[in-house]
Structure 1
Amino acid sequence: MDIIESFFGLLGDLTWGWALVPLLVIFGVFITLMTGFVQFTFFKRMFGVLTGDKESADPNSVSARAALMLSVGGRVGGGNIAGVAVAITLGGPGAVFWMWAIALVGMATSLVECSIAQLFKRRQPDGTFRGGPANSIIHGLGAEYKWLAVFYAFCLLAAFGLGFNAFQGNTVAGSIESSLGVSRYLTGALLAGVTALIVFGGIRRIAKISEVVVPVMAMLYLLMAIVIIFLNITEVPGVIATIVANAFGFEEAVGGGMGAAIANGIRRGLFSNEAGLGSAPNVAAAADVRHPVSQGITQSFSVFIDTMLICSCTAFVILLGGVYAPGAEEIDGVVLTQQSMAYHLGDWTQYLLSFMVLLFAFSSIIYNYYLGENAVAVMSQNPLATQVLRVIIVAVVFLGAAAPGATAVFFFSDPMMGLLAVVNLVAIMMLLPVCLRLLKDFRHQLAQGVQRPVLDSQQYSDLDIDHSAWEHHKAEER
C-alpha cells in the first residue's frame, strides 16, 4: 500500500506541483487573448440566463438555466468555505486578489471548453444530450484518440464519481456530528437514501433538484455574508487595500510574501472554480441550447458566481472579523470561517453553517455522480453499467460518511483530477481553432441583429457532429 500511495503522490506532484498550475495559467491567458477577451465582451450577456426564457420547451430537455445551477452546485463547495480560509492562512490576504485574477482568466477557459463540449454532444434515445471532453476527443480529434478519451473517463470516474463523493459524505457527517451530535451512521444513511432517490431518476431529475437546491444554498450564504459586510461597511475599503497591498508585496502578512500569496491564491482558486479541469463541460453538454457559445457563456458565468461572489464573501467575512491573525498558528479552514461568522453574528451561526455545508456537499454529490455516469457511458455501452454505478455511488456516500478515516482510501482523487485536467487542456488547445470558428459565427449573427444566435450545423459538415442535436432549433427559427 505504501508503494501505491507513493506512486499516486508522485503523480500528484508532477501534475499539481510542477505542470498543471502553470499550464492552466498560461493557457488561460493565451485563450483570453485569442478569443478577444470573451469574459469581458460577453459579460452583460451572461446574466440573461437568470432572467430570460428557457432555451427549449421540450419537457425532456435540460435547460441552460438548469445546467448552470447544476454546474454552480458542483463548483460551489468546500473550496468556497474552507479553501478560501486556507488560502488566506497560508498566503495572507493577498491570496484573495490572485483568486480573483485566476477566476477572470478561467472564465475564458471555461467558455471555450464548454462550447466545444456543446458542439460535439450526442442526442440520447430518451431525448437528452450527453457529451464532455471524452466526446470532444473522440468526435473532434478522431476515433484513433479513443484510448485518450477512455483514459480521461477513467480519471473522471476515479476522482469525482468515487473519491470526491466519499469526501463530501465525510464532510457532511463530520460537520453535523460536531455541531449537533448526530451519529455519522444516521447521517450517512439519510444522505445515501436521498442520493439514491435522485441519481436513479436520471439527469432530468438531477437538474430539477439542482434548480431548487443551488439558489437556496447560494442565497442563504450570500445573505449572511452581505449582512456581515454591511455591518462593517466602513472597514471594507481598508480590507480591499490590504488585499491589494499584500498581493503585490507592499505588505507582508506571512512568510513568503508575494510569492506565497500568488501560489496559494491561484491554486485554491483553480480548485474552487474548476475552470480548465474538464469537469464542467460534462454538465454543459447536457443543456439544450440554440448555439454552443450560448452555453459557453453561461458556464463562464458559473466561474464568476463561484469565485467573484461566493469566495469573495467568505474572504470578507474572515478579514473583517477578529479571529484571523496574520502569521498566527494555522486554524483549520472550516473552523476559521465558522469562528469568523460567530464573531460577527453569534454562536448560532455554527448551526446555519452546518446546514449550508450539508447543501453544498449534497449539490456536489449530485454533480459528481453525473460526472461518473458520463465517464461510464464512455467506457461501456451496457445500460447495466450505469445501474451498477448508481448502487456503488450510494454505498460510497454512506461509507464516506460513516467512517471518519474512510476518505484516506481515496488518496488517488487529486492525482486523477490532475491527469484528467492535463488531458483536457491538451484537447482544448488542439480544438481551439474550432471554438474560434464558433465564436466568429456567434459574433457575426449578433452583428446582423440576431438576438439569440442559432447554430446552422450544415456549416460544420466537415466535423463529426450530431446534426439531430441542432436541426430542431434551426427549424424553429425558420
Structure 2
Amino acid sequence: MEILESIVNFLNGILWGKNLLVYLLIGGGILFSIKTSFVQVRLFKHMIELLGEKSEKVDGNLSSFQAFCVSTATRVGAGNLVGVVSALSIGGAGAVFWMWVVALLGSATAFIETTLAMVYREKNENGEFIGGPAFYLKNGLNKKTLGFVFMGTGLICWAGVLQIVSNSVTESFKVAFNIDMKLMSIILVIISSLVIFGKKEKIAKVLDKIVPLMALLYLGAVFFIIFRNINLLPGVIKLIVSEAFGIKEGIGGAIGVVLMQGVKRGLFSNEAGTGSAPCAAASANVDHPVKQGLIQSLGVFVDTFVICTATAMVVLLTDGQIIKGLDGMELLQVAFNYHIGSMGKIFIAIILFLFSFSTLLGICFYGQVNVEFCSNKKIYKNLFKIFALSMIFLGGLHQNIFMWNLADLGLGLMTIVNFIGIVPLRNVALEELNNYEKIYLKKNIKNLKLFTK
C-alpha cells in the first residue's frame, strides 16, 4: 500500500505540483476561446434561450435540460462549498477573481468537448445515444485504445470522488444532527441504490428535480445574506479585485499563491476539459450538436459565476474575527451561523447532502456510459453500480486522504487523455459552429446540415 501511495503522490507532484495541468487547461481555454471568437461571450444570450427551448425525450434519450442537469450535478458539488472556502483561506479574496477568469476560458473548452461528443456519439442496442471522450477518441481519431485508457482513468477518479463526497455528507450530518456515520453511510447507499438501479434515464429524471431545487434553496439563502449586508458589497468587490492583482498592501509578494489557488479551485469545480460532462451531454436529444455545446458552456458559468461566487460572498461578508483560523466546512458553517443564526449549521448539512447526492448520481451516470463503451451487457453495468455503492459506503465511514490523492490523479490523467482528442479534433467542432451560425441562427432550416462531419 505504501508503494502505491508513493507512486500516486509522485505522479500528482508532476501533474498538479508542477502545475502541468493548470497550464494545459488555461492554455486550452485560451486556444479554444480565440478559435471560436469567444463563443461563450458572443452567444451567451442564445445559450440562455436554448436552455428554455423544449427538447423532447425520444427512445430513452435525455432532453437537453436533463443532460444539462446531469452534468451540472457533478459540477455543482461539495467543491463549490469546501473548495471555494479552501481557496479563500489560502489565496484570499483575490482567488475568486481568478476563478472567474478560469470559468470564462473553460466555458470555451466545455463547448468544444461537448460538441465533439455530440458529433461522434453512437446509439446502443436500446436506441439510446451514448458518447464522450472514449467515443470521439475512437470514432474521431481511430484510437480505440485511448478510449479504454480514458475509461480506466475515469474509474480511478470517480472511485475517489464517490468516497470523498460520501464522507462529506456523513461528517456534516454527524455535526448537525449527531447521526452515526456508519448509519448515515447505510442510508446513503440505500437511497442511491433506489435511483441508480434502473436505466440511466431514471438518474436524469431525479436530477432534473434536485438540481434546480438545491440551486434555488442555496441561492435564496445567499441573496438574503447579501441583501442584509448590501452596504458591505462594494467593499467586498473592491477587495476581490485588489487582492487579485496584489494591489492591497502586504499581498504583493503572494500574488502567485492567490492566482494559482483561484485557478486550481476553479478547474476542480467546473470540470471543463476533464471530459466528464460530455458523457452526459452526448445523451441529449437535440437537432444540432452546437446547441448542446452551448448549453454545457453555460453550465460552467452557472457553476463558477453563480454557485461558487455565492459561497465566496457568504464568507467575505462575515466578520473576519469570527472565522479567523478556521477552514473547510467548519468555516462555512460558522459563516452561515453568523448570518442566519443557529439554523446555519443545519442548513449547510442539508444543502451539502443535496449537492453531494446529486454528484453521486451524476458520477454513476458517467460510469455507466463508459462501461457501455466496453460492453452493453447488463452484468457489467450492474457490477459498476455495485462498485459505486461500495465506494459510497466505505467513504462514508471515515476520511481517507489517499482517496483524495487518487481522485486528483484520476482527474489529471482523464484531462490529459481528453486533450489528446479535443485539440486535434477542434476543427470539427469549429466547422459545426460555423454551420450553426451561418444557417441555423438565420432560421434557414431547410439548408441546415445536421452533424456535418
Q: State the TM-score bracket (shorter-chain normalisation).
A: over 0.9
Counterpart CA distance in 2 for 1:106 and 1:252 is 31
Counterpart CA distance in 2 for 1:411 and 1:126 is 37
Contact 1:92 1:253 in 2 (8 A): no
Contact 1:290 1:453 in 2 (8 A): no
SS at match of 1:56: coil
The amino acid that maps onto 2:27 is I
The amino acid that maps onto 1:113 is E
Shift of 1:79: 1.3
Partner of 1:476: none
The amino acid that maps onto 1:336 is L
Deviation string for 1:164-186 (max 9, x for gaps)? 11111111111101110011122
Question: Out of 393, 416, 439, which is 1:445 matched to?
Answer: 439
Q: CA RMSD in A?
A: 1.9
* 1:164 matched to 2:161: yes
Partner of 2:280: 283
Question: Which stretch shifts more, 211-220 or 185-194?
Answer: 185-194
Partner of 1:85: 85
Shift of 1:452: 11
Partner of 2:392: 397
* 1:430 matched to 2:431: no
Shift of 1:387: 1.0
SS at match of 2:140: helix
Contact 2:243 2:251 in 1 (8 A): no
Shift of 1:58: 2.4
Deviation string for 1:220-259 (max 9, x for gaps)? 0000000000111111111101110101110156584221
Partner of 1:470: none
CA gap 1:452/1:30 in 2 versus in 1, 3 angstroms: farther
Question: Out of 169, 174, 181, which is 1:184 matched to?
Answer: 181
Counterpart CA distance in 2 for 1:450 and 1:206 is 36
Counterpart CA distance in 1 for 2:391 and 2:240 is 40
Counterpart CA distance in 1 for 2:262 and 2:80 is 12
Partner of 1:366: 361
Shift of 1:454: 5.4
Shift of 1:10: 1.3
The amino acid that maps onto 2:425 is L
Counterpart CA distance in 2 for 1:26 and 1:443 is 25
Shift of 1:308: 0.2
Counterpart CA distance in 2 for 1:115 and 1:239 is 37
Partner of 1:249: 246
Counterpart CA distance in 2 for 1:110 and 1:453 is 27
Shift of 1:136: 0.4
The amino acid that maps onto 2:178 is G
* 1:152 matched to 2:146: no
* 1:309 matched to 2:306: yes
CA gap 1:199/1:44 in 2 versus in 1, 3 angstroms: same
Counterpart CA distance in 1 for 2:12 and 2:376 is 31
Question: Out of 405, 411, 415, which is 1:417 matched to?
Answer: 411
Counterpart CA distance in 1 for 2:265 and 2:282 is 26
Contact 1:287 1:295 in 2 (8 A): yes
Partner of 1:475: none
* 1:216 matched to 2:213: yes
Contact 2:12 2:405 in 1 (8 A): no
Shift of 1:417: 1.0
SS at match of 1:283: helix
Shift of 1:405: 3.7
Q: TM-score, normalised by structure 2?
A: 0.96
Deviation string for 1:390-439 (max 9, x for gaps)? 112122212211x2145645642211110110111121101011111111
Counterpart CA distance in 2 for 1:263 and 1:256 is 13
Give unpaired runs (5+ residues) of structure 2. Answer: none
Contact 2:59 2:128 in 1 (8 A): no
Contact 2:121 2:135 in 1 (8 A): yes
Shift of 1:157: 1.1
Contact 1:323 1:339 in 2 (8 A): no
Q: TM-score, normalised by structure 1?
A: 0.91
Partner of 2:200: 203
SS at match of 2:425: helix
Counterpart CA distance in 2 for 1:406 and 1:377 is 29
Q: How many residue pairs are counted as aligned between the two chains? A: 452
The amino acid that maps onto 1:157 is L
Counterpart CA distance in 1 for 2:139 and 2:39 is 25
